[in-house]
Amino acid sequence: MGQLTREQIKINKVKTSKIDSIDFNNLAFGQVFSDHMLTCDYIDGKWQLPQIEPFAPISLMPSAKIFHYGQSIFEGMKAYKDSNNDIFLFRPLDNVKRLNISAKRLAIPEIPEDYFMEGLKALLNIEKDWIPTKEGSSLYIRPFTFATGEGFHASPADNYKFIIACAPSGSYFAGKVKVLIEEKYSRSANGGVGFAKAGGNYAGQFYPTQLAKDKGYQQVIWTDDTTHEYIEEAGAMNVFVRINDTLLTSPVSDRILDGVTRKSILELAKAEGIKTEVRKIKVSELVEAAKNGSLKEIFGAGTAAVISPISGFGFRDQDFDLPEIKDTFGEKLKNKIVAIQTNKTEDPFGWRIKV
């Protein structure tokens, strides 16, 4: 298979764009979609050439295996536009790599890196006017792959579809969130698919999260599946804890996603002289730190929100509020990451890629 070129990508543009009907000053997250999407089908044992077509419904047979056996994976990315109208991506090759790690775990054919990257760049060049420039906004990018092959037999599908769709979006969360430490339900287990961005991982989170919302919390902090003694993730994000002046986060594992934002925070914190530790964090340690005043911050980290500060947590019918402090690690690191993403500062790490 030769390297895919931009010229090989068939493009079918919409007759009339809907962009003029969109209020870019009031964008919710992931609710408005751009004119086009990239599609690519896996048929006869190989990926066909990608094409760009109007964003539109997909026709599938009721026997398509995605509906029955859940072979579905995705990624989350963003595109940014600077004051010169240049377009930038943030660590996109990490997303390609992780999508293929997820694909391998779910017995889905891996997408070639050039199909992903050249297809995405071609799509962004067509959708460049959909990239918002308002502070805090971006073009959210959702690459995903799912089984289209048919049959009720419990086995991997023979056909698949890869799509990249885009949604101009505002901020993911508004303000701080309060979380409940979960002791009954588990997000994932050893040997499972917690490290993959599989759709089923998120489906399984919704019910426990709703129970937490019924109690007045916005999200759940997940604990390990065996003992529930260690915190692992916050909602759909990696979680960071600051005790005194040390920033802590859990090590990645079968159960914990290797987040792109997580890795960036660790590298950036080290460069900023912030002490970091990647180790298991006991719930009892978190509670004790909250009681003695050494717990300064908790925040979630992920592509959608970048960093989402947590104002307090609940555990066994007791609530713990975090102190209001200035110059938080979370705010400092978020500002620096966003500045790199939006080409407002130098990028010494080589994370930013111009489209």
Q: What is the mean pLDDT of residues 194-216?
A: 96
pLDDT for residue 174: 65
Q: Quick one: what percent of the chain has pLDDT higher than 90? A: 94
What is the rounded CA–CA span in Å between residue 247 and residue 241? 6
Angle between helices 113-126 and 92-105 (to 10 degrees): 130
| 218 close to 234: Cβ distance less than 8 angstroms | no
Which segments of the chain belong to CATH 3.20.10.10? Answer: 177-341
| Average per-residue pLDDT for the chain | 96
State yes or no: pLDDT of 175 exceeds 90.
no
| 101 close to 196: Cβ distance less than 8 angstroms | yes
In CATH, what is the architecture of 6-169?
Answer: 2-Layer Sandwich (3.30)
In CATH, what is the architecture of 177-341?
Answer: Alpha-Beta Barrel (3.20)
Tokens 């604990």 label which residue? 223
pLDDT for residue 199: 95
Q: What is the mean pLDDT of residues 1-22?
A: 91
Q: What is the mean pLDDT of residues 237-258?
A: 96
CB count in 10 Å sphere of residue 13: 12
HEC-encoded secondary structure of 265-292: HHHHHHHCCCEEEECCEEHHHHHHHHHH
| 131 close to 18: Cβ distance less than 8 angstroms | no
Residues constituting the chain: 355
pTM over 0.75: yes
Angle between helices 329-341 and 260-271 (to 10 degrees): 110
* Per-residue pLDDT tens digits for 319-346: 999 999 998 999 999 999 999 999 999 9
What is the rounded CA–CA span in Å between residue 27 and residue 134? 10
State yes or no: pLDDT of 265 exceeds 80.
yes
Q: What is the mean pLDDT of residues 167-178?
A: 84
Which segments of the chain belong to CATH 3.30.470.10? Answer: 6-169
Sign of CA dihedral 320, 324, 327, 331: positive
